[in-house]
């Protein structure tokens, strides 16, 4: 478990220019404010650690959207919906000096539907005079408007009290955001034993849908209980339909695989252990990695392998799977049931790695040590330095490094390797993005 995995999450939403980012900076303190001084930084859904009155929480900044886009209201509502779904409480920021516009209304209707606790911040109330404008915000029907000035700090203490009060002790989001059971996709080339594995799992126990409250299941999905925990297996219809894989079908097969991966949180990539690891196996592993999904590699048909084959397999793994060293392997037999329950442990580990959050403080302590011990090599007499970093996202862990210049690809890989050594991330891709300051 990482430290703030269960911290409650507050999303700051509202149309452009109402002062969301200013308010976020006010809430989190000054240090991270540097983020917005970096030109060209996409600030979509960047999250920060915050503390108020001894309560820790995570702030998600949804500021930084292009304000010249067509269909702005719809876009704002859409982005806000994403952030709201992933939050325990929402702060809607409105500009009290302007009043409410259509774009505000779009967000309000999303908020009503979400039934998440909402704290209404009437911003830019810089002095007593504008306080009256704030009262007009009662008409949004979201309860009491809190008059604040994000820029001067006026009223932000009361607002923070209201935010902390609206938050649960720990986050309820991880469960809700995935709509209950974890989404697992079984992927792999034809004939490796995907259907057999699914049947083996279902044979163990098919979950009764009505037992799981608030769960709607796509007819192509299947809820399956594995070792006492229910998982949602994605697109099982494709595994059940025994279509002949004619040559023209290959495109649709890979499209289907891509869609399943997209919908899943974690993928079980099945490889036939009795045959040589193929290009197609590697392609599917890359699809999972590129999509940023957690991954477990299942070597199936273990019952068909003898000692010689296993030795070869080991060599193939060393040669072809180095890129996926971060993923756990489980040697299974869908036929005999060997190790099928062990898959569950690997799936859980991968999901945990995938959702890991590292606090900005810990990350920068880590980066400080790393840069001191292993500075970036000199390039043309210049040396790029990492100024600081932040974890922009979990699922998969995504880090943004702010630097004085470009970093060598090899150095970025080195940083990623060290991140894994310090923080784990078993079973998940880790993304590291570099943002040189212009």
- Give the interface with ligand GDP as residue ranges (CB under 6 A): 14, 16-22, 63, 123-124, 126, 149-151, 188, 190-196, 239, 300-301, 303-304, 333-335
CB of 370 to ligand GDP, least distance (A): 32
Q: Using DSSP, state whether 229 is helix, strand or coil.
A: strand
Neighbour order of strands in the sheet with 89-95: 46-52, 55-61, 9-13, 89-95, 118-123, 145-147
According to the annotation, is 194 in a ligand binding site?
yes
According to the annotation, is 303 in a ligand binding site?
yes
Neighbour order of strands in the sheet with 222-226: 222-226, 229-233, 182-187, 266-272, 294-300, 328-331
CB of 382 to ligand GDP, least distance (A): 32
CB of 22 to ligand GDP, least distance (A): 3
Contacts 24+ apart (CB under 8 A), 224-230: 224/198, 226/201, 226/341, 226/343, 226/344, 226/347, 227/341, 227/344, 229/344, 229/348, 230/180, 230/181
According to the annotation, is 273 in a ligand binding site?
no
Closest to ligand GDP by CB, 60 vs 150, is: 150
- Cβ atoms of 49 and 157 within 8 Å: the answer is no
Closest to ligand GDP by CB, 4 vs 149, is: 149
Which of 395, 429, 186, 394 lies closest to 297, judged by CA?
186
3-state helix, strand, coil in the chain (%, to 5): 40, 20, 35
According to the annotation, is 235 in a ligand binding site?
yes
Beta bridge partners, 163, equal none
According to the annotation, is 7 in a ligand binding site?
no
Tell me the HSE value of 77 on the side-chain side, using a 13 A CA sphere. 18
Closest to ligand GDP by CB, 63 vs 389, is: 63
Closest to ligand GDP by CB, 97 vs 404, is: 97
Q: CA-to-CA distance for 12 and 331, rounded, in angstroms?
A: 45
CB of 187 to ligand GDP, least distance (A): 9
Closest to ligand GDP by CB, 117 vs 188, is: 188
Radius of gyration of the chain (CA): 25
According to the annotation, is 408 in a ligand binding site?
no
Closest to ligand GDP by CB, 190 vs 368, is: 190
Tell me the HSE value of 295 on the side-chain side, using a 13 A CA sphere. 30
CB of 33 to ligand GDP, least distance (A): 10
Which of 330, 359, 327, 354 lies closest to 264, judged by CA?
354
Closest to ligand GDP by CB, 20 vs 376, is: 20
According to the annotation, is 190 in a ligand binding site?
yes
Q: What are the structure tokens assigned to 342, written together?
A: 């062990």
According to the annotation, is 191 in a ligand binding site?
yes
Closest to ligand GDP by CB, 257 vs 364, is: 257
According to the annotation, is 17 in a ligand binding site?
yes
According to the annotation, is 362 in a ligand binding site?
no
CB of 343 to ligand GDP, least distance (A): 13
Q: Using DSSP, state whether 309 is helix, strand or coil.
A: helix
Beta bridge partners, 232, equal 183, 223
According to the annotation, is 31 in a ligand binding site?
no
CB of 323 to ligand GDP, least distance (A): 23
CB of 224 to ligand GDP, least distance (A): 15
Q: Which residues of 213-246 are buried (b: 16+ CB within 10 A; e: fewer)?
A: eeeeeeebbbbbbbeeebbbbbbbebbeeeeeee
Closest to ligand GDP by CB, 15 vs 293, is: 15
According to the annotation, is 285 in a ligand binding site?
no
CB of 117 to ligand GDP, least distance (A): 21
Q: CA-to-CA distance for 15 and 30, rounded, in angstroms?
A: 23
Q: CA-to-CA distance for 146 and 143, rounded, in angstroms?
A: 10
According to the annotation, is 21 in a ligand binding site?
yes
CB of 395 to ligand GDP, least distance (A): 24
Closest to ligand GDP by CB, 43 vs 420, is: 43
DSSP classification of residue 323: G
Task: Give residue 336's Cα distance to chain centre.
Answer: 35
Residue numbers belonging to the annotated binding site: 14-21, 61-65, 123-126, 188-195, 235-239, 300-303
Residue numbers belonging to the annotated binding site for GTP: 14-21, 61-65, 123-126, 188-195, 235-239, 300-303
């Amino acid at each position: 478990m990482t430290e703030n995995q269960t911290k409650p999450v507050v999303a700051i939403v509202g149309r452009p220019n109402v002062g969301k980012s200013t308010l976020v900076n006010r809430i989190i303190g000054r240090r991270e404010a540097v983020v917005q001084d970096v030109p060209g930084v996409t600030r979509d859904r960047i999250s920060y650690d915050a503390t108020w009155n001894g309560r820790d929480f995570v702030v998600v900044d949804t500021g930084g959207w292009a304000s010249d886009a067509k269909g702005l209201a719809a876009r704002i509502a859409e982005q806000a919906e994403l952030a709201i779904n992933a939050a325990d409480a929402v702060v809607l920021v409105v500009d009290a000096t302007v009043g409410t516009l259509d774009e505000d209304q779009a967000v309000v209707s999303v908020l009503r539907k979400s039934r998440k606790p909402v704290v209404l911040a009437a911003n830019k109330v810089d002095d007593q005079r504008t306080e009256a404008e704030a009262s007009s915000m009662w008409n949004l029907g979201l309860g009491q408007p809190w008059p604040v000035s994000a820029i001067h700090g006026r009223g932000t203490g009361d607002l923070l009290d209201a935010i902390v009060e609206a938050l649960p002790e720990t986050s309820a989001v991880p469960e809700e955001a995935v709509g209950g059971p974890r989404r697992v996709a079984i992927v792999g080339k034809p004939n490796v034993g995907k259907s057999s594995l699914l049947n083996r799992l279902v044979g163990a126990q098919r979950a009764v849908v009505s037992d799981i409250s608030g769960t709607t299941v796509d007819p192509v999905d299947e809820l399956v209980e594995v070792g006492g925990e229910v998982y949602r297996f994605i697109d099982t219809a494709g595994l059940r339909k025994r279509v002949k894989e004619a040559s023209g079908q290959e495109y649709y097969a890979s499209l289907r695989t891509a869609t399943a991966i997209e919908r899943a949180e974690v993928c079980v990539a099945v490889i036939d252990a009795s045959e040589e690891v193929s290009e197609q196996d590697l392609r599917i592993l890359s699809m999972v990695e590129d999509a940023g999904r957690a991954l477990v590699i299942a070597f199936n048909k273990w019952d068909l392998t003898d000692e010689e084959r296993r030795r070869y397999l080991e060599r193939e793994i060393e040669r072809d799977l180095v890129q996926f060293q971060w993923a756990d392997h489980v040697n299974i037999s869908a036929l005999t049931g060997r190790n099928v329950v062990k898959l569950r442990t690997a799936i859980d580990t991968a999901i945990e790695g995938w959702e890991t959050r590292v606090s900005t403080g810990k990350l920068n302590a880590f980066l400080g040590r790393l840069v001191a011990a292993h500075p970036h090599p000199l390039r043309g007499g210049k040396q790029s330095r990492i100024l600081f970093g932040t974890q922009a996202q979990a699922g998969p862990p995504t880090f943004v490094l702010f630097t004085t210049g470009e970093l060598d690809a090899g150095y970025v890989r080195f940083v990623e390797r060290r991140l894994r050594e310090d923080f784990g991330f078993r079973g998940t891709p880790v993304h590291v993005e570099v943002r040189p300051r212009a």
